[in-house]
Amino acid sequence: MAHNDQPLEFTAEVPSNIALVKYWGKRDPERQWPANDSLSMTLNAARTITTARLHHDAKEKDKDNGDVLLRADMGGELQPVTGNDKALRHLAYLRRELKMPAALHISTKNTFPSGCGIASSASGLGALTLAAISAWTGARSLTELAASGFDLPRLAELARLGSGSACRSFFGGYCLWTAGAEPESQSVMQVYDQDHWPLADLIVIVSPETKSVSSSAGHLTTASSPLFKPRVAGIPARMRRVRAALAARDLDALGVEIEAEALDMHAVMMTATPSLRYLLDGSVDFLSWLRKEREETGLPAYFTIDAGPNIHVICDLKDTAKVSARINAAFPHMAIIADRTGAGPTLTWRPLP
């Protein structure tokens, strides 16, 4: 049977990514044109798993609004998503852009808590893009998708319109998103694969609560901060130093840069109007502890932080157990998601019964 006639279900797994040089602020929100270049490490354990299929019900097939989207929080039950939701808006955008009328049945879950600074929108919007396009085209692998006109850069470009940072989740290892001189000349590329320098990212959960101001809303406050222009002006030099540290696999050089970079982004957040404070007291206590521990005992670990209270502790993979044990001893009430440099998205399928 031609696979177009056979009901199939497609499962996309797209990892989250942690930015080492952050995307914070947009030159053009409509076209998702970032204020600056950014560079991230693709993760492995923190991912979104999204399954999509065409609606069985023939009556639903050609409807524009017949999509069903179910989402489960980590470990929870699938619940229907309705209203002004980012994923539903992105699905509507993909449908218009790609002229795909068929309604979809989609279910999605994260392997980690959402909306608290573990870049759930990157993996979520990435997985939605990959699963929906696979269901619409019937392509059963990343190779078949590329042959249908949806190679990884194209998928990344489409996912970027849903969430900017999602474009960096389509490649393993270390990924660079350049802003370019025009919105159309943006590009996303892998700079190193995951074997170049596998690092640990120990995500310390200071609070799993969903943040009250989304990063989409946060981006729009950046221009009001007096620190924003100097930040953007300093990014090219920061990027050169981060890339040099990555090339040399020099953790101390990388660590100094990523800590300064994360604090720089949070300084812009806090000095914007309205002021955004994602860091909790527990986050700040953790940062102070990590720095003291490094100075006093030589613990080889550095932090970075996303738009949330949780802390990403970056260290060499071989030091994972030692660093986790020290964190557990000092902060026994804080859970740790032990992650590492990952390999990028996967796509699988199965025939429906």
Binding site for ligand PMV (CB under 6 A): 19, 22-24, 38, 119, 121-122, 163-165, 215-216, 219, 306-307
* Closest listed residue to residue 122, CA positions, set 69, 75, 177: 177
Beta bridge partners, 303, equal: 313
Q: Residue 300, preceding bond cis, omega within 30 degrees? A: no
Own/partner contacts of 189-194, CB < 8 Å, gap of 24 or more, are 189/153, 191/39, 191/243, 191/246, 192/246, 193/343, 194/42, 194/341, 194/342, 194/343
Q: What is the DSSP letter of 341?
A: B
Shortest Å distance, C-beta 253 to ligand PMV: 20
Q: How many CB atoms lie within 10 A of CB 209?
A: 12
User: Residue 296 is encoded by which pair of tokens?
Assistant: 């006093």
CB 245 within 8 A of CB 318: no
Q: Which is nearer to ligand PMV, 265 or 299 (CB)?
A: 265
Minimum Å gap between C-beta 78 and ligand PMV is 23
Q: Which is nearer to ligand PMV, 8 or 116 (CB)?
A: 116
Q: Of 217 and 321, which has the nearer Cβ to ligand PMV?
A: 217
Residue nearer to ligand PMV on the CB measure, 105 or 168: 168
CB of 219 to ligand PMV, least distance (A): 6
Contacts of residue 252, defined as CB under 8 A and 6 or more positions apart, other chains included, come to 300
What's the min distance (Å) between Cβ of 68 and ligand PMV? 24
Structure tokens at 8: 């199939």
State phi, psi for 273 to the nearest 5 degrees: -120, 115
H-helix or E-strand containing 64? none
Handedness of CA 246, 286, 342, 137 (dihedral sign): negative
Select 156 or 299, whichever has its Cβ closest to ligand PMV. Answer: 156
Q: How far is the CB of 58 from ligand PMV (least distance, A)?
A: 37
Phi and psi torsions of 311, nearest 5°: -110, 130
Largest CA distance in the chain: 68
As measured in angstroms, the least distance from the Cβ of 249 to ligand PMV is 22
In the complex with ligand PMV, the residue whose CB is nearer, 287 or 330, is 287
* Closest approach of ligand PMV to the CB of residue 33, in Å: 12
Q: How far is the CB of 7 from ligand PMV (least distance, A)?
A: 33
Least distance (Å) from ligand PMV to the CB of residue 312?
A: 11
Three-state SS annotation for 202-225? EEEECCCCCCCCCHHHHHCCHHHC
- Do residues 310 and 286 touch, judged by C-beta distance below 8 A? no
Smaller CB separation from ligand PMV, 278 or 286:
278
Residue whose CB is less far from ligand PMV, 102 or 270: 270
Q: Which is nearer to ligand PMV, 105 or 160 (CB)?
A: 160
